[in-house]
Chains A and B, each alone.
Chain A
Amino acid sequence: MAIKRKKILAIASGGGHWVQLLRLRPAFDGCDVVYATVRSAYQLDVPGCEFRLIPDGNQWNKLALIWSAVGVLFLIMIERPDVVVSTGAAPGYFGVLFGKWFKARVVWLDSIANAEELSLSGKLAGKVADLWLTQWEPLARASGPEWIGNVL
């Protein structure tokens, strides 16, 4: 009997977070991947792939933050991924948090932009992530996050 293909939700906000997520694509080979991000033009980066638009949010705009959380919650409930992978920021955190609620195994890769301190969303993600990663070796701790490489 064939093994069921894993379904991955790869989720990030825009700019550098999205660019870093794209650099992880070879790790998703052999899986069904749904990409979720905040700008429709990014669909051009993943031609032929499943693509979902989610509302952006950040800690400075509470209304947008709540709207983003609601959007990501619905996304998780509809897609029911086996694995959630995120490179940040706030929408990605919602992805790993809600993914966990719905029994997915979740990965947080903190942005390479955080060389001296984990991002706020990265610290929060550490409480739920099954695989919690920093891209800077000096930030790794025995209790997590782990360092196994970077997106370069």
Chain B
Amino acid sequence: MIFVTTGTALPFDRMIKIVDAWAQERGRNDVFAQIGIGGWKPQYLQFADLLHPSEFAERVRTATVVISHAGIGTILSALHYEKPILVIPKLASLGEHRNEHQTATARRMMEMGNVNVAFDDDQLRQRLDRLDELQSIGRIGPFASESLLGGLRSFIHDV
């Protein structure tokens, strides 16, 4: 299944509408979306408003591809389960977020090789037609970098 998620309880109607239209046009029945509370209701996709965290994890674990806003929680989950992830930054210019940090972070994480990014609607539509080309482009362990953990340990134990 392709798992599409707004990542949080907040909707991301622009993304859901594009994926819904694409799935209908292409006759894709293998797409499930988590749309956020009060989000636009898809006409074609299977969907839920908000998933329990355990079901969210299961959806990511069993997905072939994850499509999401550029939120860190979802990105880390996808990397953890070695899933290809396509992120669409929420844009402050469209009133979707309070500033453009999602675009900045998505770009940096793309440069680090962690995520694929569709920066606008056209790029998203193009990427949807080439989803099979998306590779899992990074795997991360369950915990933070050893340098960070070591620094925290030193601080906590005051050495």
Using a CB–CB cutoff of 8 Å, the interface residues on chain A facing chain B are 6, 8, 14-16, 18-20, 23-29, 31, 39, 41-42, 44-45, 60, 83, 85, 105, 107, 109, 111-117, 130-131, 133, 136, 148-152
Contacts and interface: CB of A to CB of B under 8 A. Distances in A.
A61 B154 CA distance: 37
Given A8-B156, A148-B148, 16 more contacts: A6-B157, A14-B8, A16-B75, A18-B73, A19-B76, A20-B76, A23-B144, A27-B156, A39-B53, A41-B54, A42-B53, A107-B152, A113-B101, A149-B147, A151-B145, A152-B140
A112 B145 CA distance: 13
Given A24-B149, A26-B149, A151 B144 contact: yes
Interface residues of B, number: 39
A15 B8 contact: yes
Interface of B: 7-8, 52-54, 71-77, 79, 98, 101-102, 104-105, 107-109, 114, 140, 142-153, 155-158
A28 B142 CA distance: 15
A64 B77 CA distance: 28
Given A41-B54, A116-B104, A149-B148, A16 B71 contact: yes
Contact of B54 (A15, A20, A44, A114): A44
A77 B135 CA distance: 49
Contacts, number: 115
Contact of B108 (A8, A115, A133): A115
Given A28-B156, A41-B53, A149 B144 contact: yes
A85 B53 CA distance: 23
- Most chain B beta-carbon contacts within 10 A, residue among A23, A44, A105: A23
A151 B148 contact: yes
A59 to B, nearest CB: 9
B72 to A, nearest CB: 3
B29 to A, nearest CB: 29
